[in-house]
Amino acid sequence: MRKVRPAINISSDIANRLLNRVQVVPMTSNISRVFASEALVHLGGSTSKAMADQITTATKERLGDRLGRLTAEDMAEVEGAIRRQLGLQGR
């Protein structure tokens, strides 16, 4: 995928420091339907959808400027979506 879109960095702090790549959850502004593997998040005064069914690895070279930081509540929603996508509920 070569499309530029915002994403949430979900890599550990250690991986962020040591590796040249990070794991991200892409985001979209299309929030008309939200599935179990997706989470609504708020950033920069707007609502977006984090798509945990599209977790990917990106090189740090592809990262642009930081758009902001999600609240703890929004990160908990993203984590829940990732757990549902990976079948990790209740573990």
Kindly report, residue by residue over 48-83, the tens digit of the pLDDT: 999 999 999 999 999 999 999 999 999 999 999 999
| Residue 3, pLDDT score | 74
In percent, how much of the chain has pLDDT > 90? 87
Res. 14: pLDDT tops 60: yes
**Residue-wise over 49-82: b if at least 16 C-beta within 10 A, else e?**
bbbbebbeebeeeeeeeeeeebeeebbebbebbb
| Residue 89, pLDDT score | 82
Cβ atoms of 89 and 37 closer than 8 Å: no
Domain 7-86 bears CATH identifier 2.30.30.110: yes
| Residue 1, pLDDT score | 55
Q: Which residues contact 3 (CB under 8 A, 6 or more apart)?
A: none
Cβ atoms of 43 and 75 closer than 8 Å: no
